[in-house]
Structure 1
Amino acid sequence: MRELGFERVLFLVHRLTLAKQALASFQNVFGNKKSMGIVGAGNTGYNKDYIFAMVETLHKEENLRKFKQDEFDCIVLDEAHHSPANTYQKVMEYFKPKLFLGMTATPDKKDDNDLSKNVYELFNHQIAYEIRLQQAMEEDLLCPFHYFGISDISLLTDDQVKARNISEEDFGKLTSDERVRHIIEQADYYGYSGDRVKGLIFCSRNKECQELSAKFNELGYRTVALSGSNSDQERESAFERLAMNAEDATDEIQPLDYIFSVDILNEGVDIVEVNQVIMLRPTQSPIVFIQQLGRGLRKAENKEYVVILDFIGNYNNNFMIPVALSGDRTYNPDTIRKYVISGNNTIPGTSTIHFDEISKEKIFNSIDKIKGMKSIIRESYISLKNRLGRTPLLFDFYEQGEIDPLVIIREYKTYWHFMEAVEKNNYSSKLDAHEKLILEYLSKTILSGVRPNELYILQKLLTEQTISADEIQKELKVQFDYMITEQEVDESAKVLQGHFTSKDAEYQKYKEIGILQYDKDKLIHVYSSYIHCLEHREFNVQIRDIINVGLARYRDKYASGKAEETPFVLYEKYSRRDVSLLMNCGKDMSSTMYGMSRIGDDVFIFVTYHKEEAEEGKNYADGKPDYADAFEDNLIFKWDSQIGKDNDSPYMKKVLSAPRKHLLVKKSDAETNFYYMGQFDVIESVNSEKEDNNGKMKPIAKVKMKMHDPVREDLFRYLQSNISKENKTV
């Protein structure tokens, strides 16, 4: 405001506290060069140069009329996500400043869940500056934090916690003496930075706040519970008491240790002294989680860090905790797991993240059963559309770090189907059945981008009708440093002819997609019917979108780091279908790839680290024996062959004779893809026996493998962590 030389400025807020804070900040810059005043809550600084006004006061007709429409050079709207509300709109429609400037930490937050209200549109989709938690930590703008995910002893589900009329029994569990003791023990153990604790505690309901506050007070703590029913004066008094130093206490005003609340502290509160934040509620959204965590991130004198204690219960939405902490909005289950595994690597600087083992398992359990994904995708789509000011493409999701395109395809088969579902009658452009079939096949087969062959060929066919195998080989080498044989060009052509299917019924469905033919002269010719499809603008856009996403994924995830001259990248995740594609099987072999699959000179061992629980009276789940498959350390892996197959069986001979042996591991059956752990050598394989479910002893081979590459430490710990029966049934 100073550098732009604005003479008169209106700063619009929704709470008196914010007006006072903003005025103090502006006075630090301007001193006495500008007169400043507050409008609202009995203050009448209408004639000042810089006015800090409460919207509830200013939006009234008689107060607006005190100003000319062009009175202000600039109008700043604090907490601008509220600006679609009628009160703000009345002010925005009346004034005609040189500049409207909106500021918000949560532009995508909808106060009334009306997704059609678009903050970005109000500001012409112009984002002057954007910074997220991770970048702010990198730039040392915020106080470092130490986050601890701690298992809660309240075993309520989120439905029970959120119930409008919570039962007495359930409420008793939330406020039991045992839970209070557990919270206090953990708060004391993890501590705080500074002379005394100055904490905020977020609960799931006001009644819980009041009861817990009372119990804390009985134990000698000084706390209050705040809700929407408290006046601004009562809130400000509580904030001052929390922030004050112990030596400033008087008989009338004593310091507070904690303030309990549900959500009134989520925004518009600037108590920089907060050094401990305790979360006693399910995480309903990453936005709210960061708002609450952020209450402690302001820097203050004598505060080196803030401690965040998150009491994690048996909640469906636990997967949102790593989503919020990492800032990753892709909602890809594998990515979310990776953030829980990597912990401290998620946050820059000196901040740390730690989950206790039980909390980790509760989060992994939640990730395994993510519910409501279609709703999450829809919200992400509308947010992205609002931000861009146009209909997003699948590539926009990828480029903007929103929902992973593969997650969308998993739910809807094609982006086109998703668009039809979310836009309904607004999406008038239609594709015919054949065009939809092509999009469905390509989305299923090549969108993941595990290799560039098919994507590059499709890209060339957008503008050329004939391309040679030689040209494809040269261009893949130049553009992607990717070597491909003539046979692999042939295999890629077959993939684009609809051959890459697992069952005959699927092949009969896709064999007529009619994209190209590959002749004996090693030339690829595009079919005229496909050219005709490409003339349909919407289909053309969708094809280009698939190509762009696939190639971007290849460059980002698979282009470098290939392990030992294989097409696989160490510790990336692959499906059995991906293995079939990369090994040029000619079709999707995943339905026949069980624990072991031999493909030419390569053998692949697929291991599920934690098996399903057996039914009562059985040794193991049918078809899934409890094999002794486990890492002894970072190099040695012990594996049991399929039951009934010892070293003399053709099965084991395939394993032992393969020149190249690969290990792929997933933690549980809930994961669809496997981590590629690299190649191994068999250092011992001995015949043994195992009892089947019928009580009969059957031959097996017990194999000791040595990995070529030591398993990455964080992944090793993740696979080794136990999934107990209790955690599997929560």
Structure 2
Amino acid sequence: MTRPFRFEKGESTVEILKNAILNGLYDQHYRGHELLAPALLDNQFGDQLWLSLRRELLICRGFTWAVAFITPNMLVPFKVVMADLAAKGVAGTIITGDYLGFNSPTVFAELLKIPNLTVRIAQSAGFHAKGYLFDHDGYQTAYIGSANFTRSALLKNTEWVLRVSSATDAALTAQVERQLTVLNQTSQLLDDHWLADYQARWVPPVHPAAKRVQSSLITPNAMQTAALRELHALVAAGEHRGLVVSATGTGKTYLGAFAVKDFRPRRFLYVVHREQIARKSLTSFQRVIGGPASDYGMLTGGRHDWNAKYLFATVQTLSQPEVIKRLGPVAFDYILIDEAHRVAAPSYQRVLDHFQPQFWLGMTATPDRPDNQDVYAAFDYHLAYEIRLQDALEAGMLAPFHYVGVQDYVTPAGELIDDTASLHRLVASERVRYVLDQLDYYGYCGQQPRGLVFCSRQEEAHELAAKFSAAGHPAVALTNTDSPTRRRTAVDRLEAGKLEYIITVDLFNEGIDIPSLNQIVMLRNTQSAIVFLQQLGRGLRKYPGKDYVTVLDFIGNYKNNYLIPLALNHDTSRDVDSAQAETRLPGIIGVSTINFNRVATAQILTSLAQTKLDSMRALRQSYQELKNKIGRVPYLYDFYRYGSTAPQVFANNPRLAHYGSFLVKMGEAVTLSSYDNRVLSFVTKELLNGKRPHELLLLDELLNYGTCSLTHLRERWRAVGAYDTPAVRQSVADILTLSFFDVKAGKETKKARYGGRPLLVTTPDGYQWNAQLADDLGSNPEFYRLMTDAVTTGLTLSHNYDPGQMFTPGHRYDRRDVCRLLNWPLDVSAPMYGYRVADGECPIFITYHKKDTDQRNAVYNNELRDGQSLRWYTRSPRHLDSPEVQQLLAGVGTDQPAVTLRLFVKRSDAAGKQFYYLGTAKIAPGSVREELLGPKEKAAVGMDLVLDRPLTPRMYELLFD
């Protein structure tokens, strides 16, 4: 939970604010504060304005906004924050108006639902203000600029907003408060009476976009164009099969029609499992391809257009022996199988075995099946193109969504309901009322709800439908026992507005098209990320007037909570730290938002702490899925290329020496000598992370040519922008000769663990492999491939880092990385603990949230004081005249201190061994004091470390809140 910023005891609020203002408005060398200094904000570089406003809301003790225009599509994430503030007793005021009729009656109705919000209607003509004022302890912050409270303004548009903080008695604050006081006095309280009057006189404004006349010509969008290019290349290469993965609602049918039009087949066959889909697809193909209606026909139970040029068939009819026999093996030169994830079924297999077209095209939104069907094999592992959900949202191909993760109902006894609870608890009147209250509070886009509710049990679905209906929300339950006719009738009634909700048990995960859906409600355990995305996707198809979809997920106390942020962010990396960050911080995909309330966040983090994302079982599953996808043994670079498990996860696994040893566990034949195993382990464990490209570039040269001159190596460094100093040249030599690792590591040195001898030898001109490595790489193709894969993957991962400096701010490093990247001659990470002073460098490692107050490091209160400095202490016993302290203090207050301080911070011990690099820091003159710490009152020296590069709000929230 985000905590309010508080000034340290004894610190002057005035001094901190004065320095922040001077930093922003006079001289950037003043000790500024990232969260208090004046700043110009926009929506660039993933730092949307909404994230700044959200943070201010979470730490404020009250707020007043004067904002002219508000849109319903920004109110859902706002309501999530307001619900958390209500639990803390924090309230606010919004002053808005009816200027130009921009604000719809829906906006005012939704604002009235927020209990801790007062809304006032400005009476002045032409009210067009755009200002946000937040009250904090001892100061206030104002955001003033061009941004209204609309989705486009806060998430997408180019906006300029000035943020200024000042003491409560400052002239600027007084001026802003006077303006707000006048607005308050001259405004009218929003109530039901005013809203009814406004509703009666409101005329929707006509937006320029509404006047445009849409062309009847259908042309491919950018993603469809890219997919068509790949399909054309497959055909040109003489391949006969290809698969396109296209998220639901992204124009998959039109893409297929464009592909067929491009191929110009003599005859074409379209195969799908439902007649309704076949009929709709026929219409779409005819719109794209054109030609007489007689060219298009159906092959279904009730219709047999045998001679149609473009034939649309259901697989149930097509696969019947008498039907398929009538159609010869070469009757069609192009066949498209829609919903191709079904191809393992016997009916589809009969079709695939019988026909021999020039090209098979498979199309699906869900190729990765929870039942382990190998969809890719049916199409010769030719994945022509993927249009994933996140890409489609970024491209505006789908309706945006606002996901809200809220905790499920808590009983009076304090028990959190989940879907394993008894039926009478799941359908208890109190729980149903709670669910309906949440649905009403977070709302929907449109005049009435059209919702699809997923629950766990058939009895639950029927009971919920009855209680929803009794409460005035007409609903019907549908399960797999219902006939297709009853299902279609229910969908028609929902689309006609006669029903508000369809409640089902996994029935509509796929194969259902209800474009008008404006709510997706999840009242069940998330067992599978695939199913979760299928259910989410039901509501994302675009529909006239549907500006967004509200997704309400009632999160109970179950072990798979952690799948939710991973699925929403399409994070398959199995990196725990990334998963925690995705849970703590709000997600934004295009103009869609991902929001977890405070309690739901805590539940998911607890679930993550109890889950081993990178277990061997998980890695085996990931391996098999990727092998099925590409049709061969996958290597580390394949995991990177296809967005699967992060290669670093294999490298960091203590049970694996290298990826070759994992292949052995998977039953693959890999033969390596003991020495080759040790060398490959070294490259994997020490270099594959890509945190420095220097060694990898040298190994790449040696793998390709056997030798490399120093001149050519430096040219390669220069080509990628890598820094080049005598120290780094010596460090690279120390690493690759293994002298860096000549330190004790258990029963043997690390040098011995990695082979005991230098990987390379120096020549008068440069470098070459040692004799044994040269021989082994030349004689063992498996070894050569694994080495090349590790080096190639490492070089690819190195693109995530700035090669022009030792460390990239905002990225993670462990102590061993730091020793290597500081060019130290030995790996001294084991005894380093909190810091080490050597060779003019001092890396400092801080764990901010201590788990146990009795731990040794817990006595050092590394308090973040003003957004740019931390109070830090040396180890004890240390005194002001200790040699180590004197080294640290040499040159303090000058432009050239004797020691460069580098600050590495992790949130807690649960984050593992890696620390985020925050940048260099300087000791604040006058802050150095000798103090007695801990119960034994041992002497240590405390000082303020001032970051040279202020924290970003995102990093502040991730590490320190």
TM-score in terms of structure 2 length: 0.66
1:637 paired residue number = 870
Within-5 A mapping of 1:236-275: 236-245=488-497, 255-275=498-518
1:394 maps to a residue whose letter is: L
Taking structure 1 as reference, are residues 311 and 688 closer, same or farther at Cα in structure 2, changes over 3 Å only? farther
1:512 aligned counterpart, secondary structure: coil
1:76 aligned counterpart, secondary structure: strand
2:396 aligned counterpart, secondary structure: coil
Kindly indicate whether residue 457 of structure 2 is the aligned counterpart of residue 205 of structure 1: yes
1:324 paired residue number = 567
- Tell me if structure 2 keeps the 8 A contact 1:17–1:236: no
Q: Unpaired runs of 5+ in structure 1?
A: 246-254, 615-619, 722-730
Q: Unpaired runs of 5+ in structure 2?
A: 1-256, 891-897
1:516 maps to a residue whose letter is: L
CA distance in 1, matches of 2:577, 2:877: 34
Within-5 A mapping of 1:167-566: 168=422, 171-245=423-497, 255-340=498-583, 343-345=586-588, 347-348=589-590, 350-371=591-612, 373=614, 374-411=616-653, 412-422=656-666, 424=667, 427-464=668-705, 467-469=708-710, 471-472=712-713, 474-501=714-741, 503-504=744-745, 505-507=748-750, 509-510=752-753, 512-516=755-759, 518=761, 523-535=766-778, 536-559=780-803, 562=805
Taking structure 1 as reference, are residues 601 and 358 closer, same or farther at Cα in structure 2, changes over 3 Å only? farther
Shift, 1:515, TM fit: 4.3
Kindly indicate whether residue 402 of structure 2 is the aligned counterpart of residue 150 of structure 1: no
2:836 aligned counterpart, secondary structure: strand
Match of 2:910 among 670, 674, 694: 670
CA distance in 2, matches of 1:178, 1:51: 54
2:401 maps to a residue whose letter is: F
Deviation per CA, 1:571-627: give whole Å up to 9, x if none. 111111110110122333222222222232122221112211x3xxxxx24334254
2:842 aligned counterpart, secondary structure: strand
With 573-582 and 645-654 compared, the bigger mean Cα shift is at: 645-654
- Tell me if structure 2 keeps the 8 A contact 1:16–1:232: no
CA distance in 1, matches of 2:286, 2:773: 67
1:629 maps to a residue whose letter is: N
Deviation per CA, 1:31-87: give whole Å up to 9, x if none. 8613656555x5333547254433234323233234333333433222101102222
- Tell me if structure 2 keeps the 8 A contact 1:316–1:371: no
With 640-649 and 289-298 compared, the bigger mean Cα shift is at: 640-649
What is the number of equivalent residue pairs in this alignment?
Answer: 680
Deviation per CA, 1:411-464: give whole Å up to 9, x if none. 333110111122x1xx23411222111111211111111112221222232255
CA distance in 2, matches of 1:274, 1:428: 51
Match of 1:33 among 272, 293, 313: 293
Taking structure 1 as reference, are residues 34 and 360 closer, same or farther at Cα in structure 2, changes over 3 Å only? farther
CA distance in 1, matches of 2:556, 2:848: 25
2:68 paired residue number = none
Match of 2:303 among 44, 49, 52: 44
Kindly indicate whether residue 374 of structure 2 is the aligned counterpart of residue 118 of structure 1: yes
1:607 aligned counterpart, secondary structure: strand
- Tell me if structure 2 keeps the 8 A contact 1:243–1:271: yes
CA distance in 2, matches of 1:190, 1:682: 48
1:530 aligned counterpart, secondary structure: helix
CA distance in 2, matches of 1:149, 1:336: 15
CA distance in 2, matches of 1:650, 1:359: 50
1:141 maps to a residue whose letter is: M
Shift, 1:294, TM fit: 0.9
Shift, 1:665, TM fit: 0.8
Shift, 1:297, TM fit: 0.7
2:273 maps to a residue whose letter is: H
With 62-71 and 581-590 compared, the bigger mean Cα shift is at: 62-71
1:581 paired residue number = 820
2:397 paired residue number = 141
Taking structure 1 as reference, are residues 457 and 69 closer, same or farther at Cα in structure 2, changes over 3 Å only? closer
1:131 maps to a residue whose letter is: I
1:534 aligned counterpart, secondary structure: helix
- Tell me if structure 2 keeps the 8 A contact 1:469–1:486: no
1:108 paired residue number = 368
1:625 aligned counterpart, secondary structure: helix
CA distance in 2, matches of 1:629, 1:361: 24
CA distance in 1, matches of 2:363, 2:331: 21
Shift, 1:123, TM fit: 1.6
Match of 2:856 among 614, 617, 623: 623
1:391 maps to a residue whose letter is: V
With 212-221 and 193-202 compared, the bigger mean Cα shift is at: 212-221
CA distance in 2, matches of 1:306, 1:31: 37
2:479 aligned counterpart, secondary structure: coil
CA distance in 2, matches of 1:471, 1:128: 38
- Tell me if structure 2 keeps the 8 A contact 1:8–1:74: yes
CA distance in 1, matches of 2:859, 2:475: 52
2:131 paired residue number = none
- Flag as ranges the 4+ runs of structure 1 deviating above 6 A: none
1:585 aligned counterpart, secondary structure: coil
1:317 aligned counterpart, secondary structure: coil
2:31 paired residue number = none
CA distance in 2, matches of 1:334, 1:559: 23
Taking structure 1 as reference, are residues 487 and 144 closer, same or farther at Cα in structure 2, changes over 3 Å only? closer
2:845 maps to a residue whose letter is: F
CA distance in 2, matches of 1:645, 1:204: 61
Shift, 1:394, TM fit: 1.1
CA distance in 2, matches of 1:506, 1:407: 24
- Tell me if structure 2 keeps the 8 A contact 1:330–1:404: yes
- Tell me if structure 1 keeps the 8 A contact 2:340–2:362: yes
Match of 1:607 among 826, 829, 846: 846
Kindly indicate whether residue 344 of structure 2 is the aligned counterpart of residue 84 of structure 1: yes
1:19 paired residue number = 278
Shift, 1:387, TM fit: 3.3
CA distance in 2, matches of 1:265, 1:454: 52
Shift, 1:285, TM fit: 3.0
1:714 paired residue number = 954
1:250 paired residue number = none
2:386 aligned counterpart, secondary structure: coil
Match of 1:685 among 915, 928, 941: 928
1:64 maps to a residue whose letter is: I
Match of 2:808 among 566, 569, 574: 569
Taking structure 1 as reference, are residues 515 and 648 closer, same or farther at Cα in structure 2, changes over 3 Å only? closer
Taking structure 1 as reference, are residues 450 and 275 closer, same or farther at Cα in structure 2, changes over 3 Å only? same
Deviation per CA, 1:90-129: give whole Å up to 9, x if none. 122122334322110111224x33xxx4322212233343
Taking structure 1 as reference, are residues 314 and 588 closer, same or farther at Cα in structure 2, changes over 3 Å only? farther
Shift, 1:258, TM fit: 1.4
RMSD, aligned α-carbons:
3.0
Shift, 1:338, TM fit: 4.2
Taking structure 1 as reference, are residues 154 and 82 closer, same or farther at Cα in structure 2, changes over 3 Å only? farther
1:302 maps to a residue whose letter is: G
- Tell me if structure 2 keeps the 8 A contact 1:154–1:313: no
Match of 1:596 among 807, 815, 835: 835
